[in-house]
Structure 1
């Protein structure tokens, strides 16, 4: 009897060891990938910096669809336009979920961040509300907001050109707070805006730690006492929730007082009365929009500034087009967009050349087993849109690291229409994501980017700053910040008005807008500029 017991224990231990050692291995039939180690799989090969380069290298070695085994999790990486179109777009019904992200969603976000939310009724209802704010019809009503914020951007660049990143960030943040909450950010020194951008950096830092990766892929570790990463994530959520809840409750107070500008929160408050969702959920819906609008737009404009700095021939060609269409006596407007195809190409090339979501942001996940190219893609696998590799595919963009807007000379589609093209090989770039998780702010972003890029080119020359020896300071175009959303590492540039007449027009336009549209003390809107934003059906 004792022998049988011992044999049973040995068999059980052997089976447990076998199961443990099978963790991290790539099962037969999965997409190929780098060799794995027992238990950890490919975790030890995951880079802590410039991951886009390693993911590109693996794509070159293992093909357009490969897999990484991350402990108990599987990540399938899509590195071709055809694969993204087929799986994330055409098969979006089973590719729209999110992987479990314990640190990022549960601890950092309290399970409330729309970006990381699992596919289901809550996400679908939230997406419906957001669509009402950002669809193509409603987006047109925000142009007055965009024009005013653009005028302050130019005024800031004229008077404090060395702080151009600050002016760009204020521009994107003020526009977003106006659309979402009904109030604007008049100065970069606004404490809540600084907290928002600092929060972006902290969120990226927490989720890039090795501890966060291990806790995400080995759920058993969650029952152990908290690691410093977990404590830091909970504290970040506490501060972030306080920020977002404060914004939302301020909007609700203004709604009750009848003093709010027409904005997304007006409609969301009506939806809350009908559907009964909590203030916590509402504050994260609006906070998610604030994150997306503030960070990605400013990062793209900053990338554009680097592009025209490093490639002065592009800057000269763009300015020549503006001269021929607009002339020196007025600024470009949205009505000029169709007549400025090279400016539109500059926008597309910036999004391709310097993608903010360099690795597709947050991976999709499958809700059932699927097959593609003869490979098994298992239920629950993370599926990454490998944006950097696709955007820099030489077959799509010859000399991909050259900033060359002329590659889009025959592309006359807007950003959304290009993303919707049934032929994935003809899509302009993949920075906005794909499928049901595609960025819903493309219509708004396109207008914000066009106004910023066209008017900066109209008003200013962007040239190299010089060091003490008079030598030009040439930034490295391949150095990026790290995180879910990235941009070029900070760089200096010299921004000067193209003429004294243009400088006077920039100053006159802003002072007139400030006098006629804003309160003299708090610099908030005197009258509603946008129309019928909250009247959209949810």
Structure 2
């Protein structure tokens, strides 16, 4: 006891208390000043310091935010540490802020876990405005803009024929056939190679993406609540979030780099097919690191694979549950392709099937899975909106699930009803919903996705009947499972007639 008393120095304690008090006073002063200057939409109550960090569920965040919207209104606020997230729950406010004010609402929040750690700062999806984003966006636009539609059509044609054949023969579960189709289209254009059923590279892409997507959700990582944790001077093995994030980054980089390495080897051997990545690798106009090239390729593969696959999942479930739209669509299809299965629908028919195009838009709206809470935007300067004043840096995202199920935005939103999109914008895939994003961050590949879906859906509805399994009714009260290799629901897909069966054998077997 004497030793402790002898070593006690009240001056040190006094200095410490003085510094602590000064720091707390400064924090209080800054909080008062901030609160007087800015006014956020209703703030969901949370814990001191942590805010709402541990309130957000790890899955099905869309339905959870929908319930919060019903309680707190059209626009409300979540707080994670010192970061404020404004959640938009109607098309009205989403269009007003993300589209009409896109100039200041289109950057990205700095997500330390998803962007810096898991993606190594290289995923264009999460890049804030800047030179790196502009360079990669320019490259992406070269391959995915609407003028490149014809480049994709031969691949979309052959892969959709293969899809029809695979669905007919049922040698592989139907949901895996959808993933192979969508992946093979983008792989053919980007890497000059097709994807086979049960292709190991596709499984690797799925695994990397399925681990990455949850980090886009609000409150998904303690590192996003306390960004300083991302730069702690401790050994990484002592930081559980770094171990997990760094491991996912390395595995993701390995998956993407393997595709690039295989292409470079075939280029060296003179056995490659000309493709987007071979042209980029041979170009002397752009200089990117090997990791940047790998992530650019991976971004294309991820986006090209999952948008089409998940939209097809929604459409098949919607068709099985709400088939009333199918006779109308088949009137259009039979008038052009023959009521007795004379030929498959083609891209030349695209303007003759408005119901098919409306069904595609409804599929994107109806049950969003990957983008159920949107991809967060960040405000680049202070802004005022309907009595609220938001500071630069505020995260603004739209509750895609909630908006898609808002009866004020969509009549009978729980129903799969393509007729809601039979209007003057039926030809514009991204109009009337927020499934492809909003403002300047609108998905650059939306036109390619529209063509993917058009050729697959028109042939599917022309050739097959889609029905529920009476023993296993489809349940859609929450998003379908994220895993692409797990059965999302039971469904029966069978040839419409014997004539349609013969048509598939005649025109599609070679493609498969």
TM-score, normalization by structure 2: 0.89
> Is the CA contact 1:162–1:495 (under 8 Å) kept in the aligned structure 2?
no
- Residues 351-390 of structure 1: matches in 2 within 5 Å? 351-390=364-403
**1:93 aligned partner:** 103
**2:411 aligned partner:** 398
Task: Kindly provide the CA deviation profile for residues 478-529 of structure 1, in whole angstroms up to 9, marking residues without a partner as x.
Answer: 232466x999971111111112221121112123446xxxxxxxxxxxxxxx
Cα separation, 2, equivalents of 1:289 and 1:94:
26
**1:265 aligned partner:** 277
Shift of 1:8: 5.5
Q: Describe the shift of the 1:401–1:338 C-alpha distance in structure 2 as closer, same or farther (beyond 3 A).
A: same
Give secondary structure in 2 for the equivalent of 1:42: coil
Shift of 1:61: 2.9
Aligned with 2:228 (options 220, 225, 230): 220
Give secondary structure in 2 for the equivalent of 1:415: coil
Give secondary structure in 1 for the equivalent of 2:307: helix
Shift of 1:188: 2.2
Cα separation, 2, equivalents of 1:13 and 1:267:
59
Give secondary structure in 1 for the equivalent of 2:477: coil
Give secondary structure in 2 for the equivalent of 1:141: helix
> Is the CA contact 1:369–1:379 (under 8 Å) kept in the aligned structure 2?
yes
> Is the CA contact 1:354–1:487 (under 8 Å) kept in the aligned structure 2?
no
**1:202 aligned partner:** 211
Shift of 1:361: 3.7
**2:326 aligned partner:** 315
Q: Describe the shift of the 1:359–1:493 C-alpha distance in structure 2 as closer, same or farther (beyond 3 A).
A: closer
Aligned with 1:73 (options 80, 83, 107): 83
Cα separation, 1, equivalents of 2:218 and 2:362:
32
**1:500 aligned partner:** 498
Structure 1: unaligned runs, 5 residues or longer: 420-426, 466-470, 515-538
Structure 2: unaligned runs, 5 residues or longer: 1-8
**1:536 aligned partner:** none
Aligned with 1:334 (options 334, 342, 347): 347
Give secondary structure in 1 for the equivalent of 2:163: helix
Give secondary structure in 1 for the equivalent of 2:115: helix
**2:301 aligned partner:** 290
Shift of 1:4: 8.9
Cα separation, 2, equivalents of 1:21 and 1:306:
53
Shift of 1:195: 0.8
**2:461 aligned partner:** 457
User: Is the aligned partner of 1:490 residue 2:504?
Assistant: no
User: Is the aligned partner of 1:472 residue 2:471?
Assistant: yes
Aligned with 2:20 (options 6, 13, 16): 13
Q: Describe the shift of the 1:355–1:455 C-alpha distance in structure 2 as closer, same or farther (beyond 3 A).
A: same
Q: Describe the shift of the 1:501–1:181 C-alpha distance in structure 2 as closer, same or farther (beyond 3 A).
A: same
**1:171 aligned partner:** 181
Give secondary structure in 1 for the equivalent of 2:278: helix
Q: CA RMSD in A?
A: 2.8
Cα separation, 1, equivalents of 2:192 and 2:48:
54
